[in-house]
Structure 1
Amino acid sequence: MTQHAASPTPAGQGRKLVVFVVGLAAVVVAMLCAFVLPSIHSGPHEVPVGVTGPQSATAAVSKALSGEKWEVTAYDDEKALTSAIEDRDVMGGIALSPDHVTAYTATAGGPQATAILTSTATALAEQQQVDVTVTDLKPFPEDDPKGAGFSSATLPMIFGGMIPAVALSRLFPGHSGLRLRLAGGISFALVAGFAVAALLQFGTGSLSGNYWITSLGISLGMTALSLTLLGLESLMGMAGFGLGAAVIMFLGNPLSGLASGPHWLPDGWATLGQLLPPGASGSLLRANAYFDGVGAGTAVLTLSCWVVFGLALCLIADRRGRRKATVENAAPAPRAQLV
């Protein structure tokens, strides 16, 4: 009976396995840090707020909100303060007078900032033994006063970009299906964007802005995600798609700041989150849904850059596919062997 000896491991295969295991472990740790660290260090970080009133009183507010957590700006009067809040120059403010304290908030801009400003104004009123009033200039809609629908919009927008990229790559594979994948990704983003906006605005009452503009904003975010993932898949296969999806889910999702606003994340993490499609999509949705588009410019520019990036990847993949097809067509056909 003949026994076959076990074939030795090819040279370099063991080293490749070690690199794979160590590299994958490093990626998992990095993704875990992206989830855990922002949560541990969450809280106000340079949140812009305004104050108006007598100089001594505004000094007291500035002292109460001192440190790196807040950026306090003094305004001449209450009208200037409320205008700054509506223009999103500040997230809220406190107006002081000898017999009254008023907290002006914008809950739709960040519920956590609203809560702290309200408690600060209440404490100041108790010290002065005067009445306190809280005026919410930009609240969530009455049908969804806590903004639950808005806060839960991140995953639908992310999956609205990821799912069509996966499905289209399977339905129309290869270079021949690239243009169909592009057309399908853009078409799906438009349809899904209007559907998601309709559900959130008319179904749950979570949004209160112009429906058409809000829908186009959601569609732009989905398009940015979808085209980027399609471009990565076209160039690198499913490895490229997996890399893009991991960045979006494990970095973009926790760093989007949709529920709290970006000022509630540490500075570096907040900046990174706003540069990724989920964060930019969330900021655009907030601006269109509650602030009449104020502050939407940066988010639109960021998402447009991602759209261009995805299209560029697809263009490179298209040219590479054409060159490959040309070489294959130009190659001489193998001669038939005579038996």
Structure 2
Amino acid sequence: MAQQDASAAGGRSAVVKIGFALGLVLFVQALFALCLVSAQQLLVPRNMPFGVTGQPSPVVAAVASKVGLDLTSYPNPSAVTDAAQRGELYGAYVSNGSADTLILVPAKSFFAQTELEPEFLAAAHDLGQQVTVQTVKPLPSSDPVGAVTSLLLVPLLIGGYLAAVLVYKAAHGIAAAPWRGAILVGYALVGALLTDLIAGLGIGAFSSNHFWSLLPCFWLITSAVALAAAGLQAMVGRMGTLLVALLFIIVGGPPAGGSGTFLLPVYWRNIGVIFPAQSAVNLINHVLYFGASNISTPLIVLFLYAFAGMAVIGWYGRIRPAGAGAPAGRPEVDTTAPTDPAATPAGRRRALVAILAALGICAVMQCLFATNYMSASHAPKATNLPFGAVGTSPVLPAAQKNISLKVTQYPNEAAAKTAMDEARVFGALISSGTSNTLIVVPSMSDIAPLDLAVRFEEAAKATGQVLTVQQYAPTPLAAKDPFGLVQGLMLVPLLIGGYMSSTMLMSVTGRAAGRWRAAQLAGFAVVSGLVVDLIVCYWLQGFPSSKFWITWPICTLIVVVVAAVAAILQKLLGPVGTLLTVVVIMLFGNPSSGGANGVPYLPAFWRDIGPYLPPRNAYILLHHTIYFDGHGTGQALTTLLIYLGVAAAVLIVLDLRRTEASVPTDATEAAAMAVPIGATP
């Protein structure tokens, strides 16, 4: 009887642990979806610093009535140009009555330029005012859309965070040892050097002239994150790891402002000020493009994080006497006690080996983040972009000299629009005599419509043809998703929820298998898919509500596929399988998904591997279902179902054979659990 009671109590305890673990994953997933989508779904000017000089202009007044500009008056054109050169302004307008000048600053924000230029030119046209566009600080060919700054943040932020987490795990949870700060600062220098070498000299994302000026910036950013994370771990123990992920990545990452901080919602811009990510982005951007002007505030914020972290580590590791009162819920740790294994020579050697192994894992992960995300996204350029044509025109061959198109001829405009309805082309040129109409599809790609418009307008001008540009969308983009970003954003928490749910089950049960593991993961997938769907569709209005019910099973399928893949690898390899899942899904799958830019804008390697990995198929299924009524999703759905079916069959076989890897808690598990980030903040 006693044994039965103990067994029942043990069963209830296991259920509580599993419920808590999956509930924690659901909370992290929901919070990440809420933060990421709400911060970046609607990037429009909000109180954007903009300079004016000369006579009061009705053009500026007309634009300011529709666009959120914070106007600052300058005494003369030279003063306003100097301010733009220092990165203080996103643009400026010089009015002299007869011919005005619009000054744009692409290096400050490429997307701000794409918002401001058409608004000012349209207003000037309506008012009959002649305007010349002048560019200050143009972006280089290695960074045509200004993505490098935010892409650099990814390895630096993750590197600092992982270094703190893995060293903490390797040192058996002693986050405040006196040598901890020195190890993390030392690793930060190594990680900064690796990132600088890979992104600059290796990939060429920025000029080699910036190597030495960026290196101390990278070192400071990584050190600030690592030391602050270690300080939180010293104060609250294991929960510090989760707290760091929540603060620095899930809440602090989305408002980093890589596309321009004044495009973010005001509340997110204000929240971002207090976290390292936004200061890091501003520091890198101004060192890279504005001669290191106006970097005092980012430096102060990052140094404060670093110094605060070091002070806390010092307090808990040296200054605070043993037994002076540990934080509530956290036992005292006396690192000098004779019972401490690290106090013996053999223990010190084992600790050193464990720490070096942890830092090695961290270095590999940081290198992969730097290499994969930068190489996939720093310079999007179309290759064989599917495009339709009706009739013949000299504009098309002229445009093809500057953009790679895969052209399909259609008999009439209706046939071309049918191809657009079915997501088979990104646009079409309808030609009739000297009249040409370029039709672009904004729901296919955020960058293709602009790219096509620019190339075809140049071609029309060169050939003396008349060109009109029109937008066409089978299902119009949601009002709060004007750039078609939401599906790419919501994909990240779905992927993370999949592998984290399997990992947490392994962590709380001590096993990577179990009779009810598949059912538990499937149940979690159903609930998490519903939660993400509710948040993005109804709370954030990220896509039409008419698509809610069809989106729920798709979200569920994405989560359960990733969870099943993780469960197999964990069952075979233990925690190493979780790390491998992260590498496959987040470090190779996510960069190769194509995202909002579209698959044709990926380099060849990433285009070729994407079809074989879940994220590309997950994105296409999600995106095409919402905006193209499910057209073009057959292959994606089939691939995901094959993944699910094969995974289920393999799990059954492994269960029958009782194949089970050992499941220790080690640095690899921490690495996998500690990477809740996807694309660029």
Alignment TM-score > 0.5, same fold: yes
Name the structure 2 match of 1:216: 216
Distance (whole Å) between structure 2 residues aligned to residue 240 and residue 171 of structure 1: 15
Moved more, 98-107 or 276-285: 98-107
Listed as ranges, the matches of 1:122-141 within 5 Å are 122-127=121-126, 129=128, 131-141=130-140
239 and 198 in structure 1: CA distance in 2 versus 1, 3 angstrom threshold? same
Write the deviation string for residues 234-292 of structure 1: whole angstroms up to 9, x where unpaired: 3333321122123222112211111x111111112112112211111111101111111
Listed as ranges, the matches of 1:192-203 within 5 Å are 192-203=191-202
Structure 1 position 207 matched with structure 2 position 206: yes
Name the structure 2 match of 1:278: 277
Name the structure 2 match of 1:225: 225
Q: Which runs of 5+ in 2 are unaligned?
A: 324-332, 339-681
Write the deviation string for residues 89-136 of structure 1: whole angstroms up to 9, x where unpaired: 321112234443322111111112212221133224423556543222
32 and 59 in structure 1: CA distance in 2 versus 1, 3 angstrom threshold? same
Moved more, 19-28 or 65-74: 19-28
Moved more, 180-189 or 277-286: 180-189
294 and 6 in structure 1: CA distance in 2 versus 1, 3 angstrom threshold? same
2:256 is paired with a residue whose SS is coil
Listed as ranges, the matches of 1:248-259 within 5 Å are 248-258=248-258
Distance (whole Å) between structure 2 residues aligned to residue 75 and residue 274 of structure 1: 27
The one-letter code matched in structure 1 to 2:47 is E
Identity of aligned residues (%): 24
The one-letter code matched in structure 1 to 2:44 is G
Task: Report the TM-score, using the length of structure 2 for normalisation.
Answer: 0.43
The one-letter code matched in structure 2 to 1:271 is N
The one-letter code matched in structure 2 to 1:303 is L
Name the structure 2 match of 1:33: 34
- Note the C-alpha offset of 1:173: 3.8
Listed as ranges, the matches of 1:110-149 within 5 Å are 110-127=109-126, 129=128, 131-149=130-148
Distance (whole Å) between structure 2 residues aligned to residue 278 and residue 20 of structure 1: 28
Name the structure 1 match of 2:189: 190
Task: Report the TM-score, using the length of structure 1 for normalisation.
Answer: 0.82
3 and 237 in structure 1: CA distance in 2 versus 1, 3 angstrom threshold? closer
Distance (whole Å) between structure 2 residues aligned to residue 206 and residue 82 of structure 1: 27
Moved more, 63-72 or 305-314: 63-72
Distance (whole Å) between structure 1 residues aligned to residue 337 and residue 45 of structure 2: 60
Name the structure 1 match of 2:153: 154
Structure 1 position 246 matched with structure 2 position 249: no
The one-letter code matched in structure 2 to 1:272 is I
Name the structure 2 match of 1:50: 51
The one-letter code matched in structure 1 to 2:310 is L
317 and 177 in structure 1: CA distance in 2 versus 1, 3 angstrom threshold? closer
- RMSD, aligned CA: 3.3
Distance (whole Å) between structure 2 residues aligned to residue 35 and residue 263 of structure 1: 16
Structure 1 position 73 matched with structure 2 position 54: no
- Count of residues in correspondence between the two structures: 325
The one-letter code matched in structure 2 to 1:180 is W
Determine if contact 1:38/1:266 at 8 Å carries over to the other structure.
yes
100 and 185 in structure 1: CA distance in 2 versus 1, 3 angstrom threshold? same
Listed as ranges, the matches of 1:84-95 within 5 Å are 84-95=83-94
274 and 152 in structure 1: CA distance in 2 versus 1, 3 angstrom threshold? same
Name the structure 1 match of 2:296: 297
88 and 176 in structure 1: CA distance in 2 versus 1, 3 angstrom threshold? closer
Distance (whole Å) between structure 1 residues aligned to residue 226 and residue 108 of structure 2: 27
Q: Which runs of 5+ in 1 are unaligned?
A: 330-339
Distance (whole Å) between structure 1 residues aligned to residue 308 and residue 142 of structure 2: 38
Determine if contact 2:176/2:316 at 8 Å carries over to the other structure.
no
The one-letter code matched in structure 1 to 2:39 is P
